[in-house]
């Protein structure tokens, strides 16, 4: 499943995004590509690609094995976040891969234990929407290679069952690595952030819209179109 999205910040074009979800059978392999536009591009020159792969447990919960993100910023090029999820002492620990370019030490192991990468977190959110009913809550521990945060989610009631969508209210709750503790790319805020997510109410659970505040302005990501394959996408 390959989909194109447009992102708008404060109502102005901010980025093009391509999301690829492959979660058939006993495993998954997801990819995302982000290219900034307009003012965000002038300020940051940010572009990134990321991929995650792993297995789907018996309850269809995503269990990551590998994550790789490559990104460019105005002053840094060809930066890489590489993680391997290693089984150790009855837990899964995120360890840096050999091609990681991070220059600061990783967080303590306790923050990296039994967490998932950001793309695998999307798989877990989709599974929660697939299996839980309105009002149900869930928590997903996430480690992105520098920061550890929880996604606290609540599945919202259907406003109109006929519109074919499911909605969730998410809160990104910082745990460690914020306010400059380990970040190499600025000074990320340590205040919780609310996120509104809408997906299709069918077997695909395709994300349709995401809204999150960034620097006190709304960042809105909207679904544009689907592609038969990644190669056939024009964006």
pLDDT tens by residue, 58-82: 888 999 999 999 999 877 788 999 9
Any idea where the domains of the chain sit in the sequence? 2-227
pTM of the predicted model as reported, rounded to 2 decimal places: 0.89
Residue pair 121/159 in contact (Cβ under 8 Å)? The answer is no
Residue pair 214/11 in contact (Cβ under 8 Å)? The answer is no
Beta pairing class for 165-176 and 91-96:
unpaired
What's the CA gap between 20 and 31, in Å, rounded?
A: 5
- C-alpha distances in Å from residue 199, one per residue of 20, 50, 68, 70, 133: 15, 21, 25, 27, 14
List the chain pLDDT tens, one digit each, 235 residues: 999 999 999 889 999 999 999 987 889 999 999 999 988 888 788 999 999 999 998 888 999 999 999 999 877 788 999 999 999 989 999 999 999 999 889 999 999 999 999 999 999 999 999 988 888 999 999 999 999 999 999 999 987 777 899 999 999 999 999 865 444 544 455 689 999 999 999 989 999 999 998 888 899 999 999 987 656 565 4
What's the CA gap between 175 and 139, in Å, rounded?
A: 13
Tokens of 6: 């447009």
């Amino acid at each position: 499943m390959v989909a194109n999205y447009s992102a708008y910040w404060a109502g102005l074009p901010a980025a093009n995004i391509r999301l690829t979800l492959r979660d058939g059978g006993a495993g998954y392999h997801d990819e995302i590509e982000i290219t900034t536009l307009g003012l965000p591009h002038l300020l940051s020159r940010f572009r990134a690609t990321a991929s995650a792969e792993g297995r789907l447990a018996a309850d269809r919960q995503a269990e990551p094995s590998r994550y790789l993100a490559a990104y460019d910023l105005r002053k840094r090029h060809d930066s890489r976040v590489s993680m391997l999820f290693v089984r150790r002492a009855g837990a899964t620990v995120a360890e840096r891969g050999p091609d990681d370019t991070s220059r600061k030490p990783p967080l303590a192991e306790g923050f990296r234990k039994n967490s998932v990468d950001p793309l695998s977190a999307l798989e877990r959110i989709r599974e929660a929407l697939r299996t839980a009913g309105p009002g149900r809550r869930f928590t997903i521990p996430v480690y992105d290679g520098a920061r550890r945060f929880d996604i606290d989610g609540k599945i919202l009631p259907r406003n109109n069952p006929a519109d074919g969508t499911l909605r969730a209210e998410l809160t990104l709750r910082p745990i460690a690595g914020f306010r400059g503790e380990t970040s190499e790319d600025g000074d990320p805020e340590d205040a919780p952030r609310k996120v509104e997510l809408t997906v299709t109410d069918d077997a695909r659970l395709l994300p349709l819209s995401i809204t999150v505040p960034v620097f006190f302005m709304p960042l809105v990501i909207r679904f544009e179109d689907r592609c038969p394959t990644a190669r056939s996408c024009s964006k």
